[in-house]
């Protein structure tokens, strides 16, 4: 094909590629602005334009290469056969492979191999974390939600009966064995159930926050709600020592997984829907255990929570986020009532640093909840990084 024709084909392809690339960049800026104001984001038009620009770039490169090589001539088939024959002269006989030296018995015992001769594969991150030492409860993998790994174990309670505890490890948990992760405790609303069974998409919201760079990865601990009462959150407000994640669970999680030590520097708590009052009670009454607490779409007994906070021993002020969707008028009203009651309370209640979020709005309740969880994760990371008091 004449070089002039190739050049004429190259120019429109280049122009189309540049136009698509500029359009993709402009659309991406608009989507980023939408994220800033917590609006819905759709990246499919950006991906389509970017893909078209990439395809135009590949075609333009191919046309440019053909145009440059056109007229220079290519090696003939005869020359290729001669070259191949010349390269074959002196090539080693494939049948004459060297015989490997025998391996001493001691070395073979020290370096076991599989039947195929390959070294056995290293265990996965979850398997490594789930291998308990003596006296440590065993955690076994039960699923892989939101690109992570979900494990389940049983930890003996104060009454000696086992309690179900689930632990979610984020993606890339095992990449750095020396890394230590902050812990997010998910409080359940129902006795004997874990919070992820009540709100299964909670891990999607946390993963979204991590991917967007709004939160660092958490290890999530979801203990089953305390039994013996139909309303575990009321029990936590009345008796803060009855927290679902008691000292036994904290010790078991610290021993089995790569987490920061239990305490307000690295542990936070989250409650969603019915579990929101549990997280509020835990954050208000036990700031010595949790550096921050977040509650999503909850309804609160303000007088009981304020009294529980006022009766708690002096310590660092609690950091608390109360979040609800913009259209959730009942949830926002409950959050503001609790915020005002704490502000006029006594002791530790008046010292609590309470924020209310009412900006999240989206097309469906599920998408709103995902964004609320993402917002809560961002708040908890910031609160742990900048403690008060």
pLDDT at 186 over 80: yes
Split at pLDDT 50, 70, 90, the class of 80 is: very low
More confident residue, 27 or 170: 170
Least confident of 29-33, 128-132, 232-236: 128-132
Helix (H, G, I), strand (E, B) or coil at 159: coil
Starting at the edge strand that comes first in sequence, how are the strands of the sheet with 162-169 ordered?
140-143, 149-156, 162-169, 219-223, 183-186, 267-272, 293-296, 319-323, 353-357
More confident site: 131 or 153: 153
Q: Which residue has the tokens 């009855």?
A: 242
The rounded Cα 289 to chain-centroid distance in angstroms is: 22
DSSP assignments along 72-135, one per residue: T----HHHHHHHHHHHHTTPPPTT-PPPPPPPPHHHHHHS---TTSPPPPPPPHHHHHH---TT
- Please tell me the chain's helix, strand, coil percentages from 3-state DSSP, rounded to the nearest 5: 45, 15, 40
Is residue 106 very low, low, confident or very high in pLDDT (cuts 50, 70, 90)? very low
Question: Helix 3-36 crosses helix 44-69 at what angle (to 10 degrees)?
Answer: 160
pLDDT at 227: 76
Q: Is the pLDDT of residue 96 over 60?
A: no
**Which pLDDT score is estimated for 78?**
43
Q: Which of 127-141, 171-185, 367-381 has the lowest mean pLDDT?
A: 127-141
pLDDT in tens, 214-240: 888 999 999 988 777 777 777 766 666
Mean pLDDT of 341-357: 93
Beta bridge partners, 267, equal: 183
∠ Cα 22 24 25 (to 5°): 65
Residue 247, strand partner residues:
none
Kindly tell me if the per-residue pLDDT of 77 is higher than 80.
Answer: no
Whether the per-residue pLDDT at 102 is higher than 80: the answer is no
**Local confidence band at 93 (pLDDT 50, 70, 90 cut-offs):** very low
pLDDT at residue number 168: 96
Q: How far apart are the first and last CA of the chain?
A: 77
Check pLDDT > 90 for residue 135. no
Residue 258 pLDDT grade (very low, low, confident, very high; cuts 50, 70, 90):
very high
- CB-based contact 296:254 (threshold 8 Å): no
Burial class (CB in 10 A: 0-12, 13-18, 19+), 314: exposed
CATH class of the region 125-385: alpha beta
């Amino acid at each position: 094909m004449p070089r002039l024709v190739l050049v004429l084909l190259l120019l429109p392809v280049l122009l189309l590629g540049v136009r698509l690339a500029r359009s993709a960049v402009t659309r991406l800026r608009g989507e980023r602005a939408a994220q800033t104001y917590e609006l819905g984001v759709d990246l499919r038009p950006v991906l389509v334009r970017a893909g078209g620009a990439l395809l135009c770039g590949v075609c333009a490169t191919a046309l440019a290469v053909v145009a440059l090589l056109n007229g220079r001539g290519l090696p003939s088939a005869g020359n290729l056969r001669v070259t191949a024959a010349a390269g074959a002269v002196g090539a080693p006989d494939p049948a004459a492979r060297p015989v490997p030296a025998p391996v001493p018995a001691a070395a073979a015992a020290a370096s076991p191999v599989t039947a195929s001769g390959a070294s056995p594969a290293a265990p996965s991150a979850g398997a490594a974390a789930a291998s308990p030492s003596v006296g440590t409860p065993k955690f076994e993998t039960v699923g892989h939600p939101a690109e992570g790994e979900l494990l389940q174990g049983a930890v003996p309670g104060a009454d000696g009966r086992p309690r179900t505890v689930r632990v979610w490890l984020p993606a890339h948990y095992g990449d750095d064995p020396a890394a230590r992760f902050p812990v997010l405790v998910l409080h359940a609303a129902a006795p004997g159930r874990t919070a992820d069974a009540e709100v299964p998409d909670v891990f999607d919201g946390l993963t979204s926050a991590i991917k967007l760079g709004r939160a660092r990865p958490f290890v999530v601990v979801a203990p089953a709600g305390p039994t013996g009462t139909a309303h575990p959150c009321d029990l936590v407000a009345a008796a803060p020592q009855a927290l679902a994640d008691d000292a036994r669970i904290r010790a078991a999680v610290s021993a089995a997984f790569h987490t920061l030590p239990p305490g307000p520097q690295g542990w936070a708590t989250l409650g969603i829907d019915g579990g929101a009052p549990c997280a509020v009670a835990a954050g208000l009454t036990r700031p010595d255990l949790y550096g921050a607490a977040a509650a999503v779409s909850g309804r609160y007994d303000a007088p009981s929570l304020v009294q529980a906070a006022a009766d708690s021993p002096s310590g660092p002020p609690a950091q608390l986020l109360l979040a609800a969707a913009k259209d959730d008028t009942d949830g926002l009203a409950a959050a503001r009532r609790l915020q005002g009651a704490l502000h006029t309370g006594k002791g530790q209640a008046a010292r609590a640093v309470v924020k209310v979020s009412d900006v999240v709005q989206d097309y469906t309740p599920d998408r709103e909840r995902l964004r609320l969880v993402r917002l809560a994760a961002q708040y908890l990371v910031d609160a742990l990084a900048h403690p008060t008091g």
